[in-house]
Chains A and B, each alone.
Chain A
Amino acid sequence: MLQRRKNRLGFWGWLGGGRYGPDRYAYSLHRLTGLGILAYFIMHIFVTGQRLGGQQRWEGIMASLGSPTVRAGEFLVVLAFAFHAANGIRLVLAELGLLIGRPGVPAFPYSYSALRHRPVLIAAMAVAALLAVAGGVDLYFGMH
């Protein structure tokens, strides 16, 4: 019986694994930001739930979470949301078969869905950048 050696990429396959197009890295980033947002969200449910404890409890928590480090962390969440939302809208459109082209007869050099879809990816990144800048501007004004 011939021995087989495992050659699966594993997690490295999620992060890269070759000279692939931007869509593949958008996938990795989408997953990463999703996990980050989920972690923040679950914590957020408990923190905002503290408003049930009245004014003193609430203001105590807000004071302890008002430091610049925490605000910078919140800005990271805003960044993550900006990317995840913009990319997510793109994915909703693409996975419903919109803006990815139609099947036809392949002729060399081959076009393909992700390539035809590239302008949509660029537009989504532009939207994400805009939202990130807006969040950053707000953070700046909030600190000064």
Chain B
Amino acid sequence: MHMSLPKAKKKKLIKEKEFVKIAQKVKKSLEQEAKYLLEGRVKNGNSVSHAIYFLP
């Protein structure tokens, strides 16, 4: 017998324009994080992990 899942408190639709706007901001953050990790690799030989994934 499987447990029951938590119900959503409120199910709301995504407002496309607002979502695109916030996604653009987050994209910049992810690119910045990827750059930071790549620079770290060059300097210290650190693992790049999944960061390259965000590069355009």
> Do these two chains interact?
no
Q: Residues of A at under 8 Å CB distance from B?
A: none
